Amino acid sequence: MPTALHTYVHTRRMNGIDVKTTVDLLRRYAFLERSAIPALAGWFLRAPAYETKLALGHLLWSHADRTDAIRRRLKELRGGHSEANIEPALARVGEELVHAPDVDSFVAGMRWLLEELAAAARDHLDLADRSANAGEVRLLRRLLPDLEDQLTALRAVGSKESPNARVWTKHLAALLAAAGGVSGLEPRVPHDGALPFASRFERVREMAFDERIAPSSLESYQSRMELPFEERRIAEMQIFFNEFYAAALVATILFDAWHADAPWEFFHDLSHHFWDEVRHAEFGVLRLKELGVEPSAVNLSLFDQSQDLPFLHRLCYLTLGLEVFYMPRKKPRVKRYEDAGDHRTQLFADVDWSDEGNHVQYGRRWVEHFLKDDARGVEDLQREIAAHLKEKQVHLPAGQLSPF
């Protein structure tokens, strides 16, 4: 059955899509893509299985990366502001994404959203003129495979088709139908706005894990350095797995700062930072399993002790505190694995070292941005963080920011 966009193009006999319609379509794609980011950050904390956390972490960056690409194309076109022109009915879809009743329903809702976006992208690509709409053709040819890759990944972790999930996706579909579909051109089906579940999402202060993962003190840095090579390698891969705490910390910043007065570039950088930390945890999963060890422990103390801080302090604490504190360990670790001939572990350590340098730059850029009209400077913020942590780090030697 032809879509409304198909009918529009062929009725006008233009064999392509005019600028106004193109801008309207891209604006709606960007809004739906962007709306998934805080929802994914919130549910990353609540999903108990680390496999689901990894999938949601990759998906969050995928949404942010596609949002950024669409926004860049929008800037090249004649059209209106990308957020100010979003109609309330579509805004309702974006606002509702996070309020799933449980993690399986949330994953089902994200899968539904990807399917809708992929279908819209395929339709748009089929109808675009290869010359007049060349910019959109290049864009959609890049974005569509990414959408399909993420769909495959979500299907692998979200195969459950629970009654709640069916009700939830039906609710989201009804909201989108009331907004004229992804394109806004489909017939609008009135929706009474009734919510299928009474509970509404609230960002948790703890990070959930299932029964496979237990709280642990982990080996301290000093004790790890005294272990034989094989034992130290496993201990260091457990530290990589523990990067879930850093990913969770960035997730709270993304979620809590979402309605702050900040440019899109802030959320894009933080989404990238989040994705990096998720991948570092994944390094731990992959290498531990290759070494015959199942991930089993986390130490969330650094995450837990930050949760009473404002999001700006959390950002400063992680990027200009912890990341800087850990940096001197990075180069020697890469060299140790190179000297030992363990190039697989060296690869993970090398990429981690490179990523962390970017995170410090993110922190410096955005902490200074948020302090530009503030009476305080970065050093003042760091003193406030140190005062907050003083009561929580009484077991650590002076000047040490981490127990591991």
Give me the percent of the chain exceeding a pLDDT of 70: 100
Domain spans of the chain, in order of start: 4-178, 214-390
pLDDT, one tens digit per residue, over 360-380 is: 999 999 999 999 999 999 999
The CATH class that applies to domain 4-178 reads mainly alpha
Considering the chain, what is the average pLDDT of its residues? 95
CA-closest candidate to residue 103, choices 213, 195, 176, 201: 201
The CATH class that applies to domain 214-390 reads mainly alpha
pTM of the predicted structure, to 2 decimals: 0.96
348: pLDDT strictly greater than 90: yes
Q: What is the mean pLDDT of residues 137-165?
A: 92
Instruction: For residue 401, name the pLDDT band (cuts at 50, 70, 90).
Output: confident
Give me the percent of the chain exceeding a pLDDT of 90: 89
Q: Three-state secondary structure along the chain?
A: CCCHHHHHHHHHCCCCCCHHHHHHHHHHHHHHHHHHHHHHHHHHHHCCCHHHHHHHHHHHHHHHHHHHHHHHHHHCCCCCCCCCCCCHHHHHHHHHHHHCCCHHHHHHHHHHHHHHHHHHHHHHHHHCCCCCCHHHHHHHHHHHHHHHHHHHHHHHHCCCCCHHHHHHHHHHHHHHHHCCCCCCCCCCCCCCCCCCCCCCCCCCCCCCCCCCCEECCCCCHHHHHCCCHHHHHHHHHHHHHCCHHHHHHHHHHHHHCCCCCCCHHHHHHHHHHHHHHHHHHHHHHHHHHHCCCCCCEECCHHHHCCCCCCHHHHHHHHHHHHHHHHHHHHHHHHHHHHHHCCHHHHHHHHHHHHHHHHHHHHHHHHHHHHCCCCCCCHHHHHHHHHHHHHCCCCCCCCCCCCCC
pLDDT, one tens digit per residue, over 89-145 is: 999 999 999 999 999 999 999 999 999 999 999 999 999 999 999 999 999 999 999
Same fold, 4-178 and 214-390: yes
- Looking at residue 159, its pLDDT comes to 63
- Looking at residue 80, its pLDDT comes to 73
160: pLDDT strictly greater than 70: no
- Looking at residue 393, its pLDDT comes to 84
Instruction: For residue 158, name the pLDDT band (cuts at 50, 70, 90).
Output: confident
- Looking at residue 14, its pLDDT comes to 83
pLDDT, one tens digit per residue, over 237-283 is: 999 999 999 999 999 999 999 999 999 999 999 999 999 999 999 99
